[in-house]
Amino acid sequence: MTPEEFRRHGHEVIDWIADYLDGIEDRPVQAEVDPGDVRAALPEHPPTEPESFDAVLDDVDRVILPGVTNWQHPQWFAYFPANNSYPSILGELMSAGLGVQGMSWVTSPACTELETLMLDWMQELLDLPEQFRSTSESGGGVLQGSASEATLVAILSARHRATGGAVNVDGDTSRLVAYSTSQSHSSIEKGLRIAAIGTDRIRIVPLDDDFAMRPDALDEMIRADIEAGLIPFFVNSNHGTTSSMAFDPTGAIGAICREHDVWLHVDGAMAGIAALVPEFRWVNAGLEFADSYATNAHKWMGVNFDCTTYWTGDRASLLGALSILPEYLRSAAAEAGAVIDYRDWQVPLGRRFRALKLWFTIRCEGIDAFRRMIRDHVSMTQQLAGWIGDDERFEIVAPHPLNLVCLAHVAGNEATDALIEAANDSDAGHFTRTVLDGRSVLRISVGARTTTPVHVEHAWTTLASLA
Ligand SMILES: *Cc1c(COP(=O)(O)O)cnc(C)c1O
């Protein structure tokens, strides 16, 4: 493709994206294809000669779009939001255009310095503890690809702090023990497995009636493990679980972690962004105890995937765990300690210029736009919860402080499952099932940027008619 062709097709693609997003409401929410349909519609073997870009775009319309699930749709009530915005898309495009590798400061200074500044901006916007600022004595922030990567980095940092780098502390098997609840995201167990912490060393801490960790139970478990000669090293506290948006009591958990010198990670992947809004800053409660914290700009803040903001208050353990310095990566700036080399803050070596899309979004959309959006989502959710609460056929089965409502049909699991299936076959939107305390649950997550009260009301009237 020549520069002239790139200009022409580039304009076409921008128009295509604007048409797609502007007209998204006319599309179905869920992909209308059967397994294998997309592949079967494309050639089995790669082309031997270059094709025209027009032919490629035609195939996008003909084959790819029908196979796309439309996460930006206003009737999107499934999983969690994954919002994008026009400035973010342009930042992503520019990152691709620059094509830099930001593994070290010296490999592209602006890539590192803008990222550090963005993490400090976000620390300020979310009103997070000072220990996370890059200018603090021992902390700092970094963009990770996903909350799952952030969790893994936290676990590896915790393991380093507990062992000084020698993993097999008693010769052949690790005595390290990790703690979390059954409501934690799957990435916690996955990260622990990758770090070679076996399932027999992962403690599932009992829950209270609101699906939150019981700190008294955590304390008992930690004491019993120490008594048995094991080494408690990592606790994950949830700020907004995926199933039900439960908040673990991080203040009480943090005091226990301090007492026993256990790393405290807080997973606020979805809900942490609510702290952009002053009246929702309660979501930060207890973070002053956290050794590490993650929230996703790529869920509820208009920045397209991937953009997890991750902070630690213990940079030394992070670098101890992940810093390896081959000859070819040495630089005078790094050796003088004047710069950050973010390759030491993540699992991969190479890294994209992700900070651009966060910077573009904050500057061009403005934070007030997201504050308004978050407030609107929460108030729509509370209105919805009111309607559900007034209908005797339904029961709300978990607290709903933000933008998620969990409901069950009073007639039992079969009725709830049938409702979820019927709702997903209707035009009311896309909904996800979960299980809480043995009960089937329909989750309604209100978080697409395009969702308005009209869409939530349509979802509700449809659910009410199907129940
Ligand atoms: C979405 C979510 C995750 C995983 O986020 P990724 O960025 O997709 O890895 C982890 N924890 C919670 C609470 C989440 O909501």
Q: Where are the chain's structural domains?
A: 3-78, 100-364, 367-466
User: Which residue in 340, 339, 343, 236 sits closest to 291, CA to CA?
Assistant: 236
* Whether pLDDT at 371 is above 60: yes
Name the amino acid, one letter, at 239: H
Average pLDDT estimate for 153-171: 84
Token readout for 432 is: 């996800």
Average pLDDT estimate for 358-371: 98
pLDDT band of 331, cuts 50, 70, 90: confident
Token readout for 210 is: 């609101």
* Whether pLDDT at 172 is above 60: no
Check: CB of residue 185 under 8 Å from CB of residue 267: yes
pLDDT band of 170, cuts 50, 70, 90: low
- Distance CA(186)–CA(438), nearest Å, equals 18
Average pLDDT estimate for 328-355: 88
Average pLDDT estimate for 384-391: 97
- Distance CA(72)–CA(408), nearest Å, equals 26
> What 3-state class would DSSP assign to 202?
strand
Token readout for 286 is: 């207890």
- Distance CA(251)–CA(274), nearest Å, equals 19
Token readout for 322 is: 């992940």
Q: How far, in Å, from the CA of 109 to the mean position of ligand 1?
A: 30
Closest Cα to atom 12 of ligand 1: 269
Task: Indicate the class that CATH gives domain 3-78.
Answer: mainly alpha
> What 3-state class would DSSP assign to 309?
strand
Average pLDDT estimate for 19-32: 95
Architecture of domain 367-466: Alpha-Beta Complex (3.90)
pTM: 0.95
- Distance CA(358)–CA(360), nearest Å, equals 6
Integer-rounded Cα Rg, in Å, for the chain is: 24
Q: Which residues pair with 156 in a beta bridge?
A: none
Predicted local confidence at residue 124, as pLDDT: 98
pLDDT band of 2, cuts 50, 70, 90: very high
Atom of ligand 1 nearest to the CA of 299: 1
Residues whose CB is less than 8 angstroms from the CB of residue 142 and which lie 6 or more positions away in sequence, other chains included = 115, 119, 310, 311, 342, 345, 346
Dihedral angle sign, alpha carbons of residues 285, 287, 288, 289: positive
Q: How far, in Å, from the CA of 269 to the mean position of ligand 1?
A: 5
Q: What average pLDDT is seen over the chain?
A: 95
Q: Does domain 100-364 have CATH number 3.40.640.10?
A: yes
Predicted local confidence at residue 324, as pLDDT: 84
Choose the residue to mutate in 71, 144, 148, 186 for probing ligand 1, maximizing ligand atoms within 8 Å of C-beta. Answer: 148
Average pLDDT estimate for 330-357: 90
Q: How far, in Å, from the CA of 80 to the mean position of ligand 1?
A: 9
Q: What percent of the chain has pLDDT over 90?
A: 93
Predicted local confidence at residue 337, as pLDDT: 76
Name the amino acid, one letter, at 155: I
Q: Pocket around ligand 1: residues whose beta carbon is below 6 Å from it?
A: 80, 146-148, 185, 187, 240-242, 267, 269-270, 296, 308
